[in-house]
Amino acid sequence: FAAAAIGSSEIHDLVSRFTAAYVTELSQNHGDTVRIDYEISPIDSRLAMADCPVPLQAELKSQNSVGKVNIQVSCKQKHRWSLYVPVDIKMFRSVVIAVAPVDRGVRLTENQLELREVDVGRLNGSYFVDKSQVVGMQAKRLLRPDKPITANQLQQPLLIKRGETVVMTATSGSLRVKIAGVALSDGHLGEQISVRNSQSKRVVEAKVSAYGQVSIVM
């Protein structure tokens, strides 16, 4: 067997060089919108691996591109071996947060929102980088202060309530007709809901277009 000549410092240096190059590539892909930091987990100073006749290789072995990832260090010849070194890659970006608690059902206004830098690698779900993407949306559940707002916490505002009288705008080519109707379910912007024509009593499917208004294409 070859002498155990490769220690923790050599492996750490390789992981450091590999991670630095990887982070540079990530930064180039995301541009000036992100700031990336990383921390390599300590390697046992007593570590001693068999000498390798070829340069050691390092590669990313994780499904995630950021967050807790593993860097595999390997010797590909003779006394083949490999080990994994955990690295914590943090990607910081300015995202939309709520500055105070927002109750369920409340429509968000700009003064309830703020942009703040957070580690997006730890967020579950899609986040927002512009307040205009959130203003006017409705909270599906309580939004906690100082926490990033994610897409699964929001919905389009409720514009129609079941049982309300609505205006149905029926369009056929250049012809537009407005008819009174009754909503048979709640409706958010852009949703299809059932509406009963107040005159004919016929039930049709219509798209919610504004407060108290739905549209039908004939």
The more confidently predicted of residues 4 and 96 is 96
Residue 48, helix vs strand vs coil:
strand
Which residues are registered as beta bridge partners of 119? 92
Q: Encoding tokens for residue 192? A: 């299809």
The more confidently predicted of residues 30 and 161 is 161
pLDDT bucket at 174, cuts 50 / 70 / 90? confident
Query: Which pTM value belongs to this model?
Result: 0.66
Residue whose token pair is 């004939």: 218
Backbone angles phi, psi at 24, to 5 degrees: -60, -40
Please state, in angstroms and rounded to a whole number, the distance separating the CA atoms of residues 50 and 196.
79
Residue 19, helix vs strand vs coil:
helix
| pLDDT one-digit tens code per residue, 58-89 | 999 988 888 899 999 999 887 789 999 999 99
Residue 90, helix vs strand vs coil:
strand
On the question of pLDDT at 213 being above 80, the answer is yes
Contact 187, 209 (CB under 8 A): no
| pLDDT one-digit tens code per residue, 84-135 | 999 999 999 999 999 999 999 899 999 999 999 999 888 887 899 999 999 9
pLDDT at position 206 is 94
DSSP 106-171: PBP-GGGEEEEEEEGGG--S-B-SSGGGTTT-EESSPBPTTSB-BGGGEE--EEE-TT-EEEEEEE
